[in-house]
């Protein structure tokens, strides 16, 4: 009788774990095309592999099986200021983009899929965020941000 209760308990815990993981995974998969989810402060993501990091005003990472959204920079602007974002994105599989979210929750694409370039973006007064957004994505991204002294850039860990 005692062994049956133990087996039943193990089965229940295992089932709850699988259901819980599936729910989170489904939510993460639903983020890519949903701006209402992308603008949220809280991130939700999973990486199979993530190598590299953000330091100062630079980001260099390689990733696989990335699904969800991951905030990589917070940018505090005193007044309206421009930033220049130099980027190189190589997407080998899945969907991937980098977005800028303004203080009033406007979502602006910086890069979508595989692309290399340099673009200027106007920051509004307040705190903006740069996020990686993916759906089963594999690839690498390199970003360098150039800004005036009126913009404080902090990598998010």
| pLDDT band at residue 19 using 50, 70 and 90 as cut-offs | very low
Q: Specify if 25 maps to a domain.
A: no
The length of the chain, given as a count of residues: 157
Find the domain containing 147 and state its range: 31-155
Task: Please say if the pLDDT value at position 48 is more than 50.
Answer: yes
Kindly state whether residue 62 falls inside one of the protein's structural domains. Answer: yes
Residue 37 lies in a domain: yes
Beta carbons of 141 and 74 less than 8 angstroms apart: no
> Which tokens hold the place of 70?
């991951």
Model pLDDT for residues 49-78, shown as the tens digit of each residue: 999 999 999 999 999 999 999 999 999 999
Q: Is residue 18 part of a domain?
A: no
pLDDT at 26: 84
What is the C-alpha separation between 31 and 33, in angstroms, rounded? 6
Contact 93, 49 (CB under 8 A): no
Domain count, the chain: 1
CATH number for position 37? 2.60.120.380
Model confidence at 125: pLDDT above 90:
yes
Q: What SS3 class is residue 157?
A: coil
pLDDT above 90 covers what percent of the chain?
A: 80
Question: Does any domain span residue 88?
Answer: yes
Structure tokens at 42: 């809280």
**Predicted TM-score (pTM) of this structure:** 0.84
Whether residue 147 is contained in a domain is answered as yes
Residue 107 lies in a domain: yes
Report if residue 132 sits inside a domain: yes
């Amino acid at each position: 009788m005692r062994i049956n209760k133990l087996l039943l308990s193990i089965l229940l815990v295992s089932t709850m774990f699988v259901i819980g993981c599936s729910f989170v995974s489904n939510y993460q998969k639903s983020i890519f095309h949903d701006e209402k989810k992308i603008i949220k402060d809280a991130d939700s993501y999973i990486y199979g592999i993530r190598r590299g990091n953000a330091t100062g005003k630079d980001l260099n990472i390689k990733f696989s099986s990335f699904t969800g959204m991951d905030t990589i920079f917070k940018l505090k602007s005193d007044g309206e200021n421009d930033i220049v974002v130099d980027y190189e994105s190589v997407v080998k599989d899945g969907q991937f983009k980098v977005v800028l979210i303004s203080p009033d929750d406007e979502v602006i694409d910086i890069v979508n899929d595989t692309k290399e370039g340099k673009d200027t973006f106007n920051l509004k007064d307040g705190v903006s965020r740069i996020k990686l957004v993916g759906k089963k994505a594999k690839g690498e991204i390199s970003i360098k941000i150039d800004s005036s002294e009126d913009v404080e850039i902090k990598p998010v860990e």
